[in-house]
Amino acid sequence: MIDLLLIKNILVALALGALIGLEREYARFRKRGHDYAGIRTFPLIALFGALSAYLGVLISPWILVAGIILIGILVIVAYFIITKKSTVHFGATSEMAGFLTFFLGVLSYYGEINLAVILAVLITIILYARSILHRFAEKIKKEEMADTLKFAVIAFVILPLLPNKGYGPLEIFNPFVIWLMVVFISGISFAGYILMKWFGEKGIALAGILGGFISSTAVTTSFAERSKKEKMIYRALVLGTLLANTLMFIRILIEVFVLNRSLFVKIILPIAVLFIVSVIFCYFIWRKAKKVQGKVELKSPFTLSPALKFGAFFAIILALVKIGDYYLSSKGVYLVSAFSGFAGIDAITVSLSQLSKNVLTEDTAVKGILIAALSNIGVKGGIAFFFGEKKFGRIIMAFYAILIALGLGIIFFL
């Protein structure tokens, strides 16, 4: 009897091998690769991996081990034969891709289809982006490489070592959460810097949009600091900051929709009004930002000092929020919402969405979430004004004042 699942897994292995092989064939056609393997060989390598895994289960695990050794030997021999024949130096990218394709076949046989597909797509992207990555690496300066290593230390060495638990009265001090904000700010600076190098000033807007899904406050802090160093692009930095804040409204709607559909129906209109006004203003700033001329000299992406200052600021605000929640939660939801908004809108949005199911009225929850959002906007306006360049801060403050006034009007008429 034919095992349909086995046939399906083998076909997946062949398809993934064909995807990588197609890219290598295209690279060879465009003279960006050599004659190691193409659209026929890579599917066969994936099939070899799947059959080795199959026979390893059916007969002996040593067959799979032998298959791994054999494909390794074939890859090494192919590399030395090709490089010996050519006077041009080649890397081992295609050979490594062939070796990895063998394991895609193994994963496909074992039914790890999702992982195999993800890896195949990532391998293909890395292969296709060869020229882009090489050009980017060639342009990296010594200072930028050193700063990249510094960021790797704070994000991947220091952060995992910090305890993720509260200390002190009411557990108000959490080292992991506070340092995570430092990593966010530094990371957004890095993302904006890299995107700026690739896409010019459009990269700032893209960084603002991506950062808005994580922390619009961190984006504001990062871009405010950059506005002092890169004054020629302050409008583009304003746009990135405003886009991050605009994405905050989308985050609120997503969180409420997931947790409380009934509350979502009531809050969608006031949030949509604030969102639309923000989009209109972003469009206005975008038109202005397009007029910026001249070459921009990018500064080092690693600015730990302002990130540490904001980390301290965040720790103080977080402590005040917890103290306010402890002493005032039973006396004033709105007051707690205002305090919570200083640190972020996610915690209070989730809390009120849950509480409005059986403890609070939906009207109270809607107003509480709006108050938190407006207080958060006020904090970001203050950060932009005090941490950023004057023109940057004034534009942000002016629009946020309008947005807060509009939001208070909506709350009053609810």
Q: Please say which residue of 136, 155, 186 terminates a domain.
A: 136
Q: Which of 121, 136, 151 is the last residue of a domain?
A: 136
Question: Which structural domain, as residue segments, surrounds residue 112?
Answer: 4-136
Same domain, 86 and 198: no
Shared domain for 67 and 211, answered yes or no, is no
At which of 136, 167, 199 does a domain end?
136
Cβ atoms 32, 131 nearer than 8 A: yes
Q: Do both 199 and 223 map to the same domain? A: yes
Both 261 and 188 in a single domain?
A: yes
Same structural domain, 117 and 61: yes
Residues 130 and 147 in one domain: no
Q: How many CA atoms lie within 13 A of 345 on its CB side?
A: 35
146, 237: one domain: yes
Q: Which residue has the tokens 């090489």?
A: 134
Predicted confidence at residue 297, as pLDDT, reads 45
Give the separation between CA 381 and CA 395, rounded to whole angstroms: 9
- Residue 72 shares a structural domain with residue 56: yes
Does 300 lie in the same domain as 243?
Answer: yes
Question: What pLDDT tens digit does each residue of the chain (414 aa) get?
Answer: 567 888 888 899 999 999 988 888 877 776 655 556 677 888 999 999 999 999 999 898 899 999 999 988 888 887 777 667 665 555 677 788 888 999 999 999 998 999 999 999 998 888 887 656 666 666 667 776 777 787 788 888 888 899 988 888 777 788 887 787 777 767 766 766 666 566 655 566 777 777 676 677 778 888 888 888 777 777 888 888 898 889 889 888 988 898 888 999 999 999 999 999 999 998 888 877 654 443 444 455 556 676 677 677 667 766 765 676 577 654 567 887 887 777 777 777 877 887 788 767 888 889 989 999 999 999 999 988 888 888 888 999 999 999 999 999 999 887
This prediction has a pTM of 0.56
Give the span between the Cα atoms of 56 and 103, in whole angstroms.
14
- Same-domain pairing of 121 and 155: no
| 291, 177: one domain | yes
- Residue 413 tokens read as 């008429």
Total of domains in the chain: 2
| 90, 171: one domain | no
